[in-house]
Amino acid sequence: MTARGTPSRFLQSVLHNGVGRYVCQLKRISLIFSKKGQGSLGVRDFIEEGVVDFAKNNPGTVVYISPQSCRIPKIVAEYLNGNVKEETVTNKTSQEIVELITKLSNQSGLDIIRIRKPFHTDSPSIQGQWHPFTNRPPSIDPVGPQAK
Amino acid sequence: MSSFSRSAQQWATFARSWFLIDARMQPPGKIASVCSVRLQGKHKPIYHPLSDIGDHVVVMNTRHIAFSGNKWEQKVYSSHTGYPGSFKQLTAAQMHKKDPTAIIKLAVYGMLPKNLTRRTMMQRLHLFPDDVLPDDILRNLTEELPQPREIPRKLSEYTQEERDAFPMLWTPPEDYRMK
């Protein structure tokens, strides 16, 4: 679809994150997988080896492991601004899942849609934005033929 | 001005002004070039050809414009409606007699960019043959533009003291006969 038909947003950061302390925007990550299915093999390998290190490295993120009888394993990431992102990880290797999870933890929860401008500022003008009377000398006499 | 809200600041920056210019004793080409600059919005730092940020220009006393040289008799305005035998040529003097605002109108029309925005800009140009302006336009005016040509004074407008103080190269004797 065209840029006009798809949603778009302006560049922003969640609550000026990074100006002061950096807060990891990933609130909760849930790994839904099945104990026996072959699509969840990568997830099971990841749980064996990598998930504890991930949880230790990201103390602000809660990691939920929920084995269910499901056909497709999923990773559900919830962010501090309320957005929920679901990714299916069928037949992915453990390494790919590690990369996916680091990508999710580095994202803020803002939508991945077209960004209208690659810049944003809260103070667009230092000296004051121009208006028609900026450099106009003031006149006391009324403007018009009667002034002649 | 920095205390304005975003919408108020935007409204102030993109506001459309009304300018007044007196065309008495002025060459119509110079008046037209000043008008075309203001109608396009080129006098603003926020100019962009697609933005439609031109201002209104009111020209008064178009009946009293002054062509230099012999242009009143020599300048020819031609028009052809497309039908055979309808080629008309009018000198500037005849055109001015028929319609005192036509000369400035055609001059501004020729100086604006030749695209679809030209007609909109021409709608924002207001021409008046004398200095009688309607009330609603008078109320909108914000600035009077300076005249492009300095009007030279007639000999009768100089005082006797200025005439005496003017340096003479040589004084002719009493019985000198000027041709």
| Domain count along chain B | 1
Q: Specify whether the CB–CB gap between A85 and A92 falls below 8 A.
A: no
Instruction: Test B133 with A148 for CB contact under 8 angstroms.
Output: no
Distance CA(B139)–CA(A143), nearest Å, equals 9
Q: According to the model, what pLDDT value does residue B178 have? A: 84
Instruction: Test A144 with B132 for CB contact under 8 angstroms.
Output: no
pTM of the model: 0.80
Residue of A nearest to B44 (CA): A132
Range of the domain at B135: 14-165
Whether chain B has a CB inside 8 Å of the CB on A59: the answer is: no
Q: pLDDT per residue over A91-102, tens digit each?
A: 999 999 999 999
Instruction: Test A147 with B138 for CB contact under 8 angstroms.
Output: no
Q: Specify whether the CB–CB gap between B19 and B44 falls below 8 A.
A: no
Give the number of beta-carbon pairs within 8 Å between A and B: 42
Q: Backbone dihedral region of A26: left (phi > 0), alpha (psi from -120 to 50 degrees) or beta?
A: beta
Residues of B in contact with A139 (CB under 8 A): 143-144
Count of helices and strands (H, E) across chain B:
8, 6
Which of B32, B16, B30, B27 lies closest to B127, judged by CA?
Answer: B32
Distance CA(A132)–CA(B45), nearest Å, equals 10
Whether the predicted pLDDT of A147 surpasses 70 = no
Percent of all residues in chain A with a pLDDT value above 70, rounded to a whole number: 99
Question: Please, what is the average pLDDT of chain B?
Answer: 95
Q: pLDDT per residue over A78-94, tens digit each?
A: 999 999 999 999 999 99
Q: Per the domain annotation, does B31 fall within a domain?
A: yes
- CATH number for B107: 3.90.1180.10
Whether chain A has a CB inside 8 Å of the CB on B1: the answer is: yes
Residue of A nearest to B47 (CA): A130
Q: Per the domain annotation, does B159 fall within a domain?
A: yes
- Of residues B4 and A84, more confidently modeled: A84
Mean pLDDT value across residues A54-64: 95
Least confident of A122-126, B102-106, B128-132: A122-126
Q: According to the model, what pLDDT value does residue B162 have? A: 95
Q: According to the model, what pLDDT value does residue B179 have? A: 80
Percent of all residues in chain B with a pLDDT value above 90, rounded to a whole number: 92
Question: How confident is residue A139, by pLDDT bands cut at 50, 70 and 90?
Answer: confident
Q: Specify whether the CB–CB gap between A51 and A65 falls below 8 A.
A: yes
Question: How confident is residue B2, by pLDDT bands cut at 50, 70 and 90?
Answer: low
Q: Per the domain annotation, does B58 fall within a domain?
A: yes
- Measure CB to CB from residue B141 to each of A129, A143, A148 and give the nearest one: A143
Residue type, position B70, single letter: N
Q: According to the model, what pLDDT value does residue A1 have? A: 85
Q: Per the domain annotation, does B174 fall within a domain?
A: no
Enumerate residues 6+ apart whose C-beta is below 8 A from A55: A61, A63
Percent of all residues in chain A with a pLDDT value above 90, rounded to a whole number: 81
- Measure CB to CB from residue A132 to each of B15, B138, B144 and give the nearest one: B15
Distance CA(B176)–CA(B44), nearest Å, equals 61
Q: What is the CA radius of gyration of chain B?
A: 22
Question: Please, what is the average pLDDT of chain A?
Answer: 92
Mean pLDDT value across residues A44-59: 94
DSSP category for residue A142: P
Q: Per the domain annotation, does B150 fall within a domain?
A: yes
- Annotate B22-68 with DSSP letters as a single string: E-TT--HHHHHHHHHHHHHTTTSTT--TTS----EEEEE-GGG---S
Pick from A123, A125, A130, A131 the residue to mutate for testing the B interface (most B CBs within 10 Å). A131
Q: Specify whether the CB–CB gap between A92 and A56 falls below 8 A.
A: no
- Paired tokens of B50: 């697609």
Q: pLDDT per residue over B31-73, tens digit each?
A: 999 999 999 999 999 999 999 999 999 999 999 999 999 999 9
Q: pLDDT per residue over B126-136, tens digit each?
A: 999 999 999 99
Instruction: Test A132 with B144 for CB contact under 8 angstroms.
Output: no
Enumerate residues 6+ apart whose C-beta is below 8 A from B49: B40, B113, B117
Q: Nearest-CA distance from A82 to chain B in Å?
A: 28
Domains of chain A by start residue, with CATH: 14-107 (3.40.30.10)
Which of B158, B14, B174, B24 lies closest to B104, judged by CA?
Answer: B24
Whether the predicted pLDDT of A148 surpasses 80 = no
Q: Collapsing DSSP states into helix, strand and coil, what is residue A48?
A: helix
Q: pLDDT per residue over A7-38, tens digit each?
A: 999 999 998 888 889 999 999 999 999 999 99
